[in-house]
């Protein structure tokens, strides 16, 4: 996202506690301030020192299984910390926010593809924490001179086209990197969490979106807010659903390697099927995804080979 902003002539400022982030990924000559959203003074300092026009809020705990076992962490880090940010924005009259939300706000959908006006019934504390923030933002926008765009990500994947930036989590919980780590000898096997879901092959179906397409959506959202678009919510996905087994098969084709797979038990809080309709984003932001699953996997493989 930083590289996309720089290419468009913006001057981004990074605020991160580096608990899961990597300072190595920050481009040279980009302002970086180490701080924590849980500490109000840290946020106030950045807004007092630097004139900020808009905020893109990416910081959150984002593991469904962890949220089931440690919900308080998710309400503290995702909701309380966000309120600190919001208070500072209002105090310093920063009126534009782009919020990273999630398809987890929908829960088990009644229909697919999912549209933005479908019911919100999250099945885990992670999704509930994100939905709480969405509702807080909506209340603030209705009360103050404040506008926002909330972007509900589906499964973001892939790496920068250069191969120099990619997914780097500890532990790694995302499907595509874990498939590639098995293929690359970093892990012995891929565990699929349940094959008894009500889907054609029994494994969960998800909608995958390329990281570069996601960044373009943020740029378009920023442009829209700067041009006066009213506050809104948009899905970001590609409208196609792939089961876990289908993603494994696609990866095996791209990298010409077999992957050792083991079926495990279901994880709590996993809906069977999540597929986005992105028609609203296409109509209102002029956005649509350009990369298919093959390109996503290929980019992730270049990154995986580089780091191992």
Q: Where are the domains of the chain?
A: 2-307
Catalytic residue among 74, 106, 126, 278: 126
Residue 257 has pLDDT above 80, yes or no: yes
Q: Look at residue 171 in the predicted model and tell me its pLDDT.
A: 86
C-beta atoms surrounding 37 within 10 Å? 22
Structure token digits, residue 281: 């984003």
Distance between CA atoms of residues 297 and 27, nearest Å? 24
pLDDT tens digits for 15-64? 999 999 999 999 998 999 999 999 999 999 999 999 999 999 999 999 98
Residue 308 has pLDDT above 80, yes or no: no
Distance between CA atoms of residues 110 and 125, nearest Å? 20
Distance between CA atoms of residues 292 and 240, nearest Å? 9
> Residue 199, exposed/middle/buried by CB under 10 A (0-12, 13-18, 19+)?
middle
pTM of the model: 0.94
pLDDT tens digits for 93-136? 999 999 999 999 999 898 999 999 999 999 999 999 999 999 99
Helix (H, G, I), strand (E, B) or coil at 280: helix
Please say if 144 is a catalytic residue: no
Pairing relation of β-strands 242-243 and 205-206?
antiparallel
- Which CA distances in Å does 220 have to 30, 74, 150, 190, 238? 21, 29, 12, 36, 16
C-beta atoms surrounding 230 within 10 Å? 10
Cis omega before residue 28 (within 30°)?
no
Backbone angles phi, psi at 278, to 5 degrees: -110, 20
Distance between CA atoms of residues 128 and 79, nearest Å? 10
CATH superfamily label, 2-307:
NAD(P)-binding Rossmann-like Domain (3.40.50.720)
C-beta atoms surrounding 8 within 10 Å? 11
pLDDT tens digits for 178-226? 999 999 999 999 999 999 999 999 999 999 999 999 999 999 999 999 9
Residue 299: alpha-carbon gap to chain centroid = 17
Q: Look at residue 234 in the predicted model and tell me its pLDDT.
A: 98
Structure token digits, residue 119: 């019911």
């Amino acid at each position: 996202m930083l590289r996309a902003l720089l290419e468009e002539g913006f001057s981004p400022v990074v605020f991160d506690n580096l608990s899961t982030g990597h300072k190595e990924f920050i481009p040279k000559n980009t302002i970086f301030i180490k701080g924590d959203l849980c500490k109000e003074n840290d946020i106030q300092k950045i807004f007092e020192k630097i004139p900020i026009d808009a905020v893109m809020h990416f910081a959150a705990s984002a593991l469904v299984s962890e949220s089931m076992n440690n919900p308080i962490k998710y309400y503290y880090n995702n909701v309380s910390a966000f309120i600190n940010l919001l208070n500072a924005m209002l105090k310093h009259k920063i009126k534009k926010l782009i919020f990273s939300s999630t398809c987890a706000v929908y829960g088990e959908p009644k229909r697919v593809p999912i549209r933005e006006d479908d019911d919100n019934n999250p099945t885990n504390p992670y999704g509930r924490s994100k939905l709480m923030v969405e509702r807080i933002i909506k209340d603030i926008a209705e009360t103050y001179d404040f506008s926002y765009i909330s972007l509900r990500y589906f499964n973001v994947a892939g790496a920068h086209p250069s191969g120099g930036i990619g997914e780097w989590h500890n532990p790694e919980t995302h499907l595509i990197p874990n498939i590639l780590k098995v293929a690359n000898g970093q892990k012995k096997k891929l565990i699929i969490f349940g094959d008894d879901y009500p889907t054609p092959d029994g494994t969960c179906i998800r909608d995958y979106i390329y990281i570069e397409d996601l960044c373009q959506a943020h740029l378009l959202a920023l442009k829209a807010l700067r041009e006066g678009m009213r506050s809104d919510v948009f899905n970001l996905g590609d409208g196609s659903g792939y089961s876990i087994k289908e993603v494994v098969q696609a990866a095996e084709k791209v990298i010409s390697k077999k992957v050792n797979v083991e079926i495990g038990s279901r994880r709590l809080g996993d809906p069977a099927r999540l597929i986005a309709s992105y028609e609203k984003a296409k109509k209102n932001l002029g956005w649509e995804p350009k990369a298919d699953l093959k390109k996503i996997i290929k980019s992730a493989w270049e990154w995986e080979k580089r780091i191992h």
